[in-house]
Amino acid sequence: MAIKAILDSIVIVGGGTAGWLTAANLAKSLNCDKNDAIKITLIESPNIPTIGVGEGTWPTMRKTLAKIGIDESEFIKQCGASFKQATKFVNWKSNPLNGENNHYYHLFSSIYDPTDFNLSPYWKLGYAGDESLTYANAVSPQALCCELGLAPKQITTKAYDGLQSYAYHLDAGKFSEMLKKHCTENLNVHFIADDVIDVCLDETGSISGVNTQNSGLIEGDFFVDCTGFSSLLLGKALNIGFKSVADTLLTDYAVTVQVPYDDPNADISSCTISTAQEAGWIWDIGLANRRGIGHVYSSKFMSHEDAERILLEYAGPQAKGLMTRKIKMEVGYREKFWHKNCVAIGLSAAFVEPLEASAIFLIEAASNMLAEQFPRQRVGMEHAERKFNESFKFRWDKTIDFIKLHYVLSKRDDPFWRANKDETTIPDSLKAQLAHWSVQPVSNYDFANVYEPFPLESYQFVLNGMGFEQNLEPSRALFPMVDKATMSFDKVKKITEFAVKDLPTNRALLNKVHQHG
Ligand code: FAD
């Protein structure tokens, strides 16, 4: 087949969260719902299941859903979704002392934009008043709202909006189903249920088509690999290597269980709860009709049997007799994410342990960048490829550093946690940042790259929450705006009092959405 100068057909292989989100994002950005200038085809195997996990999202999901034209109430109803305001990290700081747990919150944002006025050093220097006031409580009402099981907004608040930032917990299987229906019914995405059995390359080494079990050869100008861990196109056919980061992030398995509520009106937590364990941690995500719970662990430090036992003990009597599922995790990323006329998005491109629920966010980011930079003409495609690869290498490296940060700051002393603090496992980039931050507040100067996945605020919540030792005393004079800081902390207190009185519980808000939405 002759190489075309204009690219007008895109083939996406794989229909999990990555495949369908990418299809929706591309179809919307390239106006496929309005004209046929570009044809998008998605091929999904009816035999290979999706990974079926991936329930925690970031606030960017609100914008993504609005962009692709999905109504918030419909999304909540169809995906068993709930509102997420934060991650609560339990026993990460240290082993529980005398049976007493410790915790802190990583919120999505604070009331004040820290790039405008950075309250963190003032909190650190004791200007927030009450010494027992945590950083999260000093800068936002949301940690307390989470403690009280409150929602981030009122039923009357405009869809996708709210005073307090929020994301969602969702049922991954239902989410893919909803996206598939939306893409095929409203966005003009062509769907083929079939197995790709072979990938064909042209004389330039680009992909010219994929052979399927029952539908023959499907040709295309551009291919998106969303085949999950198998990375059928980018990894296998184009032979792009995988860079493992298993020597930095030490967990390699997850065992999961889905636990129904014992009461249909049971409280639903409005944060992901992450509880540190002897050789890893457990996530606990409250959806509308069940909890999704998973134990992420290192098989070098814990047997699979013990990992499952600890998961079921944590899940409680409701989990008795339920099926668990063990998932092997290979952490790392492809040496390139875009090669010739193929981009990998989702697990086919990269995976790190789900501590900060970054994977779906990075799927949104990758599909946005591809959609906005789609090389309609072949001229200039190499430059688009280079930009995409640089950007995503940066994003994944930063994500790895940020996840590792949680382990490095912990004072837990089980062998797994000690191994995590071994110097040889810590990236140099993270070591350099920590040395800098031990005497300087984290500031916008540390986040000059527009592709930074975790903003300044995320670092403040984790560093301050984990009790990072930062000596700002010799620099006290550099923070003279004490009155402004005190007023700001007082304002947060007032907003918190108001929020706590005013907001419904997460369950009450969800019930209202289901009844009236
Ligand atoms: P999959 O879901 O594996 O989909 C692959 C698709 O490719 C399937 O449709 C399959 O049928 C198709 N396919 C494969 N081979 C072929 C073939 N030959 N022919 C045709 N089709 C084929 N992310 C978050 O953001 N938040 C979280 O809280 C979170 N938790 C996680 C917990 C765990 C334990 C794990 C492992 C991951 C978690 N993730 C999380 C990551 C998240 O699950 C994934 O990033 C997301 O689901 C995207 O998966 P995917 O679509 O790339 O792959």
Quote the ipTM score: 0.99
Q: For position 1, what pLDDT does the model report?
A: 56
17 labeled binding residue? yes
Return the structure tokens found at 150.
């409150």
> How far does the centroid of ligand 1 lie from the alpha carbon of residue 15, in Å?
9
The mean pLDDT value for 339-355 works out to 97
84 is a catalytic site residue: yes
Instruction: Check whether residue 130 and residue 88 sit in a common domain.
Output: yes
What is the share, in percent, of the chain residues with pLDDT greater than 70? Answer: 98
Instruction: Check whether residue 188 and residue 139 sit in a common domain.
Output: no
Minimal CA–CA distance to 229: which of 215, 242, 238?
Answer: 242
Instruction: Check whether residue 94 and residue 161 sit in a common domain.
Output: yes
Residue 267 CA, chain-centre distance (Å), reads 24
Around 448, how many Cα atoms within 13 Å sit in the side-chain half-sphere? 2
pLDDT single digits (tens) 53-111:
999 999 999 999 999 999 999 999 999 999 999 999 999 999 998 889 999 999 999 99
Residue 463: how many other CB atoms lie within 10 Å: 23
CB of 230 sitting under 6 A from ligand 1: yes
**Ligand 1 site-directed mutation target among 17, 217, 296, 399, most atoms within 8 Å of CB:** 17
Q: Which residues contact 289 (CB under 8 A, 6 or more apart)?
A: 80, 260, 261, 264
User: Does residue 2 register a pLDDT over 70?
Assistant: no
Instruction: Check whether residue 197 and residue 302 sit in a common domain.
Output: no
CB of 292 sitting under 6 A from ligand 1: no
Q: Residues 450, 451, 457, 462: what is their CA dihedral angle, to the nearest 10 degrees?
A: -150
Residue 503 CA, chain-centre distance (Å), reads 26
pLDDT single digits (tens) 280-333:
999 999 999 999 999 999 999 999 999 999 999 999 999 999 999 999 999 999
List the domain range (segments joined by +) for residue 16: 9-80+170-247+331-379
CB of 510 sitting under 6 A from ligand 1: no
Q: What pTM does this model have?
A: 0.97
**From residue 345, how far is each of 17, 310, 337 by CA, in Å?**
10, 33, 8
> How many domains does the chain contain in total?
2
Instruction: Check whether residue 208 and residue 143 sit in a common domain.
Output: no
360 labeled binding residue? yes
Long-range residue pairs from 213-218, CB within 8 A, at least 24 positions apart, any chain: 215/43, 218/11, 218/41, 218/43, 218/192
Q: Is residue 281 part of a domain?
A: yes
Q: What is the CATH number of the domain that holds 176?
A: 3.50.50.60
Nearest atom of ligand 1 to the alpha carbon of 363: 45
Residue 198 to residue 139: CA distance in whole angstroms:
54
CB of 14 sitting under 6 A from ligand 1: yes
Q: For position 204, what pLDDT does the model report?
A: 94
pLDDT single digits (tens) 406-452:
999 999 999 999 999 999 999 999 999 999 999 999 998 999 899 99
Contact 322, 257 (CB under 8 A): yes
Atom 27 (ligand 1) nearest CA: 54
Contact 332, 351 (CB under 8 A): yes
Catalytic residue selected from 34, 39, 67, 84: 84
The two beta strands, 222-225 and 342-344, are parallel
Instruction: Check whether residue 88 and residue 231 sit in a common domain.
Output: no
Instruction: Check whether residue 235 and residue 122 sit in a common domain.
Output: no
> How far does the centroid of ligand 1 lie from the alpha carbon of residue 197, in Å?
19
Residue 53 to residue 30: CA distance in whole angstroms:
29
